[in-house]
Amino acid sequence: MGRTEDEIRDKLRQIHLFASIRDDEEALERFRKITRLTSESRGTVMIREGDVGAEMYIVYRGAVEIQKRTRAGDNYTVVRLSSEDNVFFGELALVDDDKRSATVIATEDSEFIVISKTDFVKLGDERPDIGLPITREIAKILASRLRKTTGDMLTIFDALVSELQQ
């Protein structure tokens, strides 16, 4: 195995989404085999909000900015992510066929580990012991986001009611 393959496996070990296979060399290698490495230049739009996507990305080297569009059509930066943060984006595309919820732009020349939905589903069908725990982690991420959104909505509702009562 080449140096890059070892480095990719090492990076996968650092991503919390893959905690369940972190110490299983065979499972980690099996998962690594469905990945591909891609390079993108600074300013490249990796994902465009509203487009349908079928890939998840891990920031291998470099950095990205995640942007959302307001109802008025303005873009604002939600967060900046760097490879040192052991981050990923686009994970929902592994479990659904809906539109992307944000725009992701490379803020410097970067490399990404890419996992396609087709390969992930095939791996999960062949090796549920690998795919199911990862899918559960994605479900936990979704549950956490839903709880946060619900809390944010209640805060906004309370503020509105308070304002109307004055």
Task: Provide the domain count of the chain.
Answer: 1
Residue 65: which H helix or E strand, with range? strand 63-69
Q: How far is CA 4 from the centre of its chain?
A: 21
Amino acid at the residue 129: D
Tell me if 31 sits within 8 A of 21, measured CB to CB: yes
Instruction: Return the residue matching tokens 């992307």.
Output: 100
Does pLDDT of 4 surpass 60?
Answer: yes
Q: CA 164: distance to chain centroid?
A: 39
Look-up of token digits 């393959």: 5
Say how far apart CA 98 and CA 71 lie, in whole Å.
19
More confident residue, 114 or 74: 114
Dump pLDDT digits (tens) for 9-53.
999 999 999 999 999 999 999 999 999 999 999 999 999 999 998
Percent of the chain at pLDDT > 70 equals 98
CA distance 63 to 31: 23
Average the pLDDT over each of 1-5, 57-61, 112-116, 137-141 and give the range with the smallest value. Answer: 1-5
Whole-number pLDDT of residue 3: 65
Residue identified by tokens 């690998």 is 130
Q: How confident is the model at residue 109 (pLDDT cuts 50, 70, 90)?
A: very high
Give the residue, 50 or 161, on which the prediction is more confident.
50
Average pLDDT over residues 119-146: 91
Q: What share of the chain is helix, strand, coil (3-state, %, to 5)?
A: 50, 30, 25
Q: What is the CATH number of the domain that holds 30?
A: 2.60.120.10
Confidence grade of residue 2 (pLDDT, cut at 50, 70, 90): low
CB atoms under 10 Å from CB of 61, counted, come to 17
Contacts of 46 (CB under 8 A, 6+ apart): 40, 57, 64, 89, 90, 104, 105, 106, 112
Average per-residue pLDDT in the chain? 90
Contact 31, 7 (CB under 8 A): no
pLDDT at 143: 84
List beta partners, residue 59.
112
pTM score, two decimals? 0.84
Higher-pLDDT residue of 124, 142: 124
Parent domain of 131: 3-165
